[in-house]
Amino acid sequence: MAFKGDLEALILAVLSDHALHGYEISKRIRSQSQEVLKYGEGQLYPALHKLEESGFIEAEWMLQDGKPDRKVYSITPKGREELERHRSAWAKFVSGVGGIFASHAVEGGK
Partner 1 sequence: MNLNYIEWYVVELGKHLSSAVPLDKQNSLLHETKNHLSSLVEEFQSQGMDEKTSQLAAIDRFGAPEKIAAQFLESLNSRQGRAFVTLLNLALFIAICVIVTGLILSPNELIRGGPIMTIVPIAMSYGLYTLLRGRRPTAKWLLLPTAMSVVIGLPSAYYLTAFTSNRGYLSHVMPYGALRKQVLGLRAEMQTQDKFLRPYMDSYRAALKDPKVKDGLKSGDKFSVPSYQHSNSKGVYVTIASAYKMKSLISQDSNLVQLQGSEFSVGTVKDRKPEVLTGPMTGHAFRQYFIEQLDSQRRSRIMDESALGQLEAGLNMSVFERAKLFAFWVATSTLLFGLPAAWIASWLAFLIRNSLRFRTRKIGLA
Size of the site for partner 1 (CB under 8 A): 22
Binding mask 53-92 for partner 1 (x = CB under 8 A): xx-------------xxxx---------------------
33 vs 43 by CB, closer to partner 1: 43
- Residues in contact with 56: Cβ distance below 8 Å, sequence separation at least 6, in sequence order: 8, 12, 75, 76, 78, 79, 82
Beta strands in the chain (DSSP E): 20-21, 57-62, 70-75
- Check residue 32 for interaction with partner 1 (CB under 8 A): no
- Check residue 18 for interaction with partner 1 (CB under 8 A): no
Burial level of 31, CB count in 10 A (0-12/13-18/19+)?
exposed
| Least separation in angstroms between CB 108 and partner 1 | 36
- Check residue 40 for interaction with partner 1 (CB under 8 A): yes
Out of 11, 12, 20, 21, point to the residue binding partner 1 (CB under 8 A).
21
SS3 of 92, please? helix
Q: Which residues would be at the binding site for partner 1 (CB under 8 A)?
A: 21-23, 26-27, 39-47, 49-50, 53-54, 68-71
